[in-house]
Structure 1
């Protein structure tokens, strides 16, 4: 299969999958190396395909072009001990955590896709964070960061903000 057909096949797989597909799984399915998949994803993104790279794999964002969804960026401040509680506030309200955005003193704004939709996703994310030897959050961001959250209606976004405020992590 040539590159163009492989990229079409990758796009079709991403359109039909609800869960992220790992580069390794895609490579196995396409009969190529994971590095070829990484390059294919980069080429697809260059043609304005909205493919997110998450800690679980690739996912096509906006399958329905965002119809019927609302987004809001919230600013939060907390130490590492409140991280799971913050994410639970959002998913328990019925919203999704699309990303995390930090302002770095040297590099400027840094955004990372998260795609956290459930408590299970939060727990898996926390396992990775807690097992990592990365610097504590405060050293990188002064404990302040942003999330883009998405929900089917504004009331869900309002409820997520209400829960974040009650948890004491929302910055107004």
Structure 2
């Protein structure tokens, strides 16, 4: 490719996660064209670590098969249900309580690229903030010259239009980025 990074080709011609994003995640496996598998867990102060297998689907679905004990039959749990099943005292913060192992350390899912496709809190790319206004997530594009990711704020229609125009340009450069005057 022009930027020197050769992507892994899958049947659709692209991959869910780049090798850079998942290089140091322990137990990471590509499960097929539409999902990946990674070892995860949740720590309870009372019961210790509950280990499971997290499947991240390209559709945004997350499901965990619990392996806390040899006889555990909990399968296809949501991350919130897995957090509750593990006996976590402060549930309802599963993005911070469910972890994966990166470089030998427990890292919350919120600090990894594994939630890139998660869309349950979002509705078609936007969500309502606590104030009731619709807000969009920020998006990133990679420059074809310097290979850096550049952030696009998506707060107004003009910013959204600028992002979508840049996204359609296959040879987008940092110099094409709109700037605040």
Greater C-alpha Rg: 2
Which structure carries more helix by proportion? 1
- When normalised by structure 2's length, the TM-score is 0.23
- When normalised by structure 1's length, the TM-score is 0.24
Greater relative CO, 1 or 2 (CA 8 Å, sep 6+): 1
